[in-house]
Amino acid sequence: MPATVMRFLAGLALSLALGTAVAETLDRIVAVVDDKVVLASELESETALVRQRLRQQKVNLPSPQVLERQVLDRLIMERLQLAVAGRMGIRVDEGTLNAALQRIADQNGMSLSRFRDAVQAQGMDYAAFREDLRDEITIRRLRERRVRTSVNVTPQEVEELLNNARGEDSTEYLLGHILIALPERPEPEQIRAARAEADETIAKLRAGQSMDAVAAAHSDSGTALEGGNLGWRTAARLPTIFAQQVQGMSPGEIRGPIEAGNGLHIIQLLDSRDGDRKLVTQTRARHILIRTNEVVSDSDARTRLNTLRQRIDDGADFAELARQHSEDPGSGVRGGDLGWVNPGTMVTVFEQQMDRLQPGELSLPFESQFGWHLVQVLERREQDMTQEMRRAQATAELRERKAEEALEAWLRRIRDEAYVDIRLGGE
């Protein structure tokens, strides 16, 4: 996610005060990425934003040189992904961008005009904020198309996970993670250097330095600037190489270096908790799906759904309109009925939109990786955890694990295949 958007969303409630923003810099090229460049002014601006966000989160900052290099690596990866998206024809139109801005404003209890004022009050240019958000949506669409939609989970894998989990509790783990990256086919000297850095990193952790500071200084993972924090996860939702380690660890314990295809990993168990849930809230919903393609744009799909929404408000039958217009072959023939939906079953954006609705309420059109949706919640109920729910959770966990591993491999591949010339002082 672009750093400007991350900084604003994390800090809005804290009423940030950047003052006069970043000092003016004589521009020069600090990196060449294929046929694109990264300017010193961009790097300085993004570094200032990241530094401000880390301070708010009380993350110990690495040295200025290390932080600058971490931010530059992130900017390089953004450039590479946006270039791939451009070649694939992935575009975010003005209507989609405006709808995303409105959602962010709504989530913060603001009108769009107040939201614009809040962005500017934090020393940020609103037009630049819009473009950063456009880039964020573009990269998300790219990752969904290139990685997530290609991930396949088989019934056999689900059954194997369920069988292995029988008799185990649903403990959740909070892991800190550091990656010392290696290229796809490393030279012996590169391997030796990576092992030496991994040993130095582990020594710092065992000497009492915090995971967030060491990760920010040493990790090549995408979570480096978040202090290496992977968030609360069950073992099943962790990458396979970590799941094999974590269940035998005690809080504070460090494991590594763990060798994998993309480099050497170091993990630290920060905390654990009982994540068992006895009841879940199920939602019965129905939807109408309009897919985009070379002929149907985002704007076309949204307009069609707004027209259908108005017809439903005027008394038209949702089910009949779904049978006529929905492009979801599974639910369309059932009048859009999705049946009883368990938490974690649907893609994140769909579930978030559905969860905001009261029974009988109709959503505004919104976009997911599958197209544009109009959703209506019919009813909700509390249910005991069933085997069906366990299977749905297992499927989601396997898909998330595979998607993370596939994304890491894909990002490493496009980085290795690109021409990147870094021109920081001393490099």
CATH code at 279-384: 3.10.50.40
pTM here is 0.52
* pLDDT surpassing 50 at residue 12: no
285-320 residue pLDDT tens? 999 999 988 888 999 999 999 999 999 999 999 999
Q: Do the first three CATH levels of 165-276+391-422 and 279-384 match, i.e. the same topology? A: yes
d(CA 189, CA 198): 14
In this structure, what is the dihedral angle of CA atoms 33, 39, 40, 45, given to the nearest 10 degrees? Answer: -110
Domain range summary for the chain, segments of one domain joined by +: 3-146, 165-276+391-422, 279-384
- Provide the CATH topology of domain 3-146: Triger factor/SurA peptide-binding fold (1.10.4030)
156-194 residue pLDDT tens? 888 887 777 655 556 888 999 999 988 888 899 999 999
Sequence-distant (≥ 6) Cβ neighbours of residue 19 within 8 angstroms = 123
Q: What pLDDT score does 394 carry?
A: 81
CATH code at 165-276+391-422: 3.10.50.40
User: pLDDT confidence of 201, banded at 50, 70, 90?
Assistant: very high
Q: What pLDDT score does 1 carry?
A: 45
78-128 residue pLDDT tens? 999 999 999 999 989 898 899 889 888 888 888 889 999 988 887 778 888
- Judged by average pLDDT, the poorest of 56-65, 73-82, 188-197 is 56-65
Sequence-distant (≥ 6) Cβ neighbours of residue 394 within 8 angstroms = 158, 161, 162, 165, 236
| Contact by Cβ (8 Å): 270, 174 | yes
